Amino acid sequence: MKKHNFNPGPAILPEYAINETIAAMKDFAGTGLSILEVSHRSKEFEAVVNETVALFKEVMNIPEGYAVILVGGGASTQFFHVPYNLLEKKAAYLVTGEWATRAYKEAKLFGEVEVVASSEDKKFTYIPKDYTIPADADYFHITTNNTIFGTEILHDIDSPVPLVADMSSDICSRPVDVSKYGLIYAGAQKNIGAAGLTVVIVKESLLGKVSRPLPTMVDYRTHIKNNSLFNTPPVLNVFVTMMTLRWIKEIGGLTEIEKRNKAKAELIYNEIDRNKCFVGTVVKEDRSRMNACFVMAPGYEQYEEEFAKFAASRGMVGIKGHRSVGGFRASMYNALPLESVQALVDCMQEFEASH
Residues 219 and 86 sit within 8 Å (Cβ to Cβ): no
Residue 190 or 264 with smaller CB distance to ligand PLP: 190
Out of 74, 150, 162, 182, the residue judged to bind ligand PLP by CB under 6 A:
74
Rounded CA-CA distance 143/277 in Å is 31
Whether 123 is a known active-site residue: answer no
DSSP alpha helices (H): ranges in the chain? 15-26, 43-59, 74-86, 98-107, 220-225, 235-251, 253-274, 304-313, 338-353
Shorter beta-carbon distance to ligand PLP: residue 271 or 286: 286
Which range, of 22-30, 139-147, 214-222, 296-304, touches ligand PLP by CB under 6 A?
A: 139-147
Q: Is 253 helix (H, G, I), strand (E, B) or coil?
A: helix
Q: Does 169 bind ligand PLP (CB under 6 A)?
A: yes
Answer yes or no whether residue 76 interacts with ligand PLP by CB under 6 A: yes
- The residue count for binding ligand PLP (CB under 6 A) is 13
| Residue 101 engages ligand PLP in binding (rule: CB under 6 A) | no
Task: Give the 3-state secondary structure of residue 294.
Answer: strand
Q: Which of 190, 203, 264, 320 is catalytic?
A: 190
3-state class of 320 per DSSP? strand
Radius of gyration of the chain (CA): 21
Q: Of the ranges 16-24, 162-170, 234-242, 295-303, which one interacts with ligand PLP (CB under 6 A)?
A: 162-170
Q: Which of 28, 99, 104, 278 binds ligand PLP (CB under 6 A)?
A: 99
Q: What does residue 279 show for φ and ψ, rounded to 5 degrees? A: -145, 145
**Nearest by Cα to 126 from 148, 149, 142:** 149
Residue 273 sits at φ, ψ, to 5 deg, of -75, -30
* 193 contacts ligand PLP (rule: CB under 6 A): no
Rounded to whole angstroms, the Cα distance separating 72 from 158 reads: 30
* 291 interacts with ligand PLP by CB under 6 A: no
Closer residue to ligand PLP in complex, CB, 113/184: 184
For ligand PLP, which residue of 168, 241, 281, 340 counts as binding (CB under 6 A)? 168
**What is the C-alpha to C-alpha distance for residues 312 and 309, in angstroms, rounded to an integer?**
5
Residue with Cβ nearer ligand PLP (150 or 187) = 187
Check if the beta carbon of residue 275 is closer than 8 Å to that of residue 349.
yes
> CB 103 → ligand PLP: shortest distance, Å?
7
What's the CA angle centered on 346, arms 342 and 347, to 5 degrees? Answer: 120
Please, which residue, 102 or 180, has the CB nearer to ligand PLP? 102
Binding region for ligand PLP (CB under 6 A) out of 120-128, 164-172, 240-248, 303-311: 164-172
Q: How many CA atoms lie within 13 A of 159 on its CB side?
A: 30
Query: If binding is defined by CB under 6 A, does position 119 make contact with ligand PLP?
Result: no
Amino acid at 46: E
Q: Is residue 156 annotated as part of the catalytic site, yes or no? A: no
Least separation in angstroms between residue 142's CB and ligand PLP is 10
Residue 231: CB minimum distance to ligand PLP, A: 18
C-alpha span between 126 and 149 (Å, rounded): 9
190 as an active site residue: the answer is yes
Does residue 20 bind ligand PLP (CB under 6 A)? no
> How far from the centroid of its chain's Cα atoms is residue 78's Cα?
13
SS3 171: coil
- First vs last C-alpha separation in the chain: 25
DSSP state of 287: B
Kindly indicate which of the ranges 47-55, 143-151, 212-220, 231-239 contains the residues binding ligand PLP, using the contact rule CB under 6 A: 143-151
Regarding 340 and contact with ligand PLP (CB under 6 A), the answer is no
Residues forming the site for ligand PLP (CB under 6 A) = 9, 74-76, 99, 143, 145, 147, 166, 168-169, 187, 190
Catalytic residues: 99, 166, 190
